Structure 1
Amino acid sequence: MSGKIDNWMDAMVQRRALARWRAAAETAETLDPARLRALRGEARQLQRALGQFTHVADGRLALPMIGSSAMRKPASADWAWRPGIWRGPLARPGLAAVASETGFGDGATLFHDCTTNELSLRQIRNRREADLAPYGLRLDVFRFDGSFLSLVLELPAEAAQGLTRRHVIRMDATVEKERPLEIFARLNVKHGPNVEQIVRELPRDATEVMIEFDLAYTKMNEKRVDKLWVDLIFEGPEMNQVTWRDVTFCRRPRADL
């Protein structure tokens, strides 16, 4: 009850304040200079406060909303997903000198074999008008003396439910590179003791990328599928910064061959 009373009183105060300034605007031409000067001082103070508030509010409301599920996907998709790193804030937003097999967020793990460890991962807040994901992931690599570097994204159990060889798995990403870099995406489908793998190279010169994995060309046992994950593999990543503004996955059935 007290909350309703407070809301009613706030609304009443706001209406009275608005009516007061409307009346002042209508009578400004005829007010005596002393009164006009006093009201002008009050108006400027109010204008500064309102300007600060609207500046912050406009900035916050222009950002992608935390937890947003908006994404590019075909109308025929029967499953779609954005990993947690790109959806909401992490308890630990950054890691330096990242050791191999280090988890980052929910279902993401970095693998490498370098001995001179100059790798860092950091979650960043997306602030561009074009961004759909609230957050991004930035990978910085300085010296790198290893032979491989990959970020593994484990897909949720829903991705495996009802999965058949008639499905196409699609990955959409917005990725920025400081220098040209080869990046490969490898889909892994575990069915029983076996793992089917499909590898696709991301377009080198594009920021907005889309690749598809057609399961028709695998020997996947549809009745035994229990796990899917994607390896993002970086070739020659030394002295580079890679920013993943967004990563999403979806699947769709395709027409019979």
Structure 2
Amino acid sequence: MGVEQIPFYTPLYLVLFMIPIVIINYKMGITLNKRLIYALFRMTIQLVLVGFFLQYIFLFNNPWINTGYILFMIVAAALSTVKTCGLTIKDQFISILLGFGIPNIVMILFINQFVIGLDNIFDAQYYIPLMGMLLGNSLSGNIIGVNTFYNGLRKNERQYDYRLGLSANQWEATLPWYKEGVVACLNPMIASTETIGLVSLPGMMTGQILGGSMPMTAIVYQIVIMAAILISRYFSIHLSLLLTRKTAFDAYDRLKV
């Protein structure tokens, strides 16, 4: 049994539920309507364009094209993180790019080769969707972790300077906020992992079941992807913080504005 085909126009039915949301926000003075509508519109356009593009990528299924698309995804994630965290592209983009790229590429190739056992580890059907899930979670985690680290340093600049004054080196002086950044990055993922199956049925598992896979097969895939997300997210935030630190401080260990 395959997944039930949904006509292209039926998602428009959900607009009916947006009407009361817009009315309530307007009446209560909650200024989210423009952002909500823009976000939904942008999501729709992006997904439609990606859908058309991926059809051709899946058709050709060329390792170089597939990897090129993966690199484009990594660059987009790095740019989004740099922008959201208020970092400078000139100083921090390469650091964030490596923080995203290295853990996630290693993880996806390991999964395809040793866990799933594909003959072609660059097969677009597995390579691109799984990488999208890894990158999406690393993106949200990195934004939280990097923001927590640098905001903590800015808010506690005197405490940081005091630690330096007690002969601590840069690593020792920043360690409390470094640990806060890592914890802030991982906490939502750990909470989500703990409650899967009890509170939620995750998207990958649900999609496979809707596509006709047996529940136990879907569960095995979901365990693999959740463990991979947690691992890649952990190493990604460490690598991002370690690399961005190299250009975030001046010669006197003062945090640059």
TM-score by length of 2: 0.23
Structure with higher Rg: it is: 1
Structure (1/2) with the larger strand percentage = 1
TM-score (norm 1): 0.23
Q: Return the structure number with greater helix share.
A: 2
